[in-house]
Structure 1
Amino acid sequence: MSYTYLTTDALAARIHYEPTTIRSCLKDSVLFEGTHYIRPFGGRKILYIWENIERDMTAASNADLISIPLASGGVCNV
């Protein structure tokens, strides 16, 4: 399967968020390393995997359950 890799700025333009919001609020709380982004070659640069982000965004918006985010990164479905 072929993936679309995006920089933080490219992802921000695609989902209409500020790059600083992605870096400070979404990364590691909603977007997780290994699932939603990678650090190629063990470096500092981050590349986001668009297909996984899109899948999870649409799944979350289609959910009929009320979800309460937990500090550990999980959710509590009510």
Structure 2
Amino acid sequence: MQVALPASQASTYLTTDELADRIKYDARTIRDRLKDSVLLEGRHYIRPFGGRKTLYIWEAIEQDMAMHSHQSAAPIPLVGGGALHG
């Protein structure tokens, strides 16, 4: 029996290699440096059926990348009172 989820609840699951292709990072960097520090289990990835395979949740990753991108665009305050806009 198949259960259809509403479009708002549908998620796109990606393997490490598929995620690497989308965000232009090396798969090893994702596994060694991003996973469990930036990408968090339960939010950004799952391990279905208690197995070793990791599936990344694209919508959560995309949302957080955009959020952090907007935050980093803030001006840098200068000693003289001005601001540096990157």
Which TM class, normalised by the smaller chain length?
Answer: 0.7 to 0.9
Residues in 2 aligned to 1:65 and 1:36: alpha-carbon distance in whole angstroms: 29
1:18-51 Cα offsets, whole Å, 9 max, x none, are 0000000000000000000000000000000000
Unmatched 5+ residue regions in structure 1?
A: 67-78
Unmatched 5+ residue regions in structure 2?
A: 1-8, 77-86
TM-score (norm 2): 0.74
- 2:51 corresponds to which letter in structure 1? G
Residues in 1 aligned to 2:70 and 2:50: alpha-carbon distance in whole angstroms: 35
CA-based RMSD: 1.4
Q: Which has the larger radius of gyration?
A: 2
Identity of aligned residues (%): 65
**Structure with higher RCO (Cα < 8 A, 6+ apart):** 1
Provide runs of 4+ in structure 1 moved above 6 Å. Answer: none
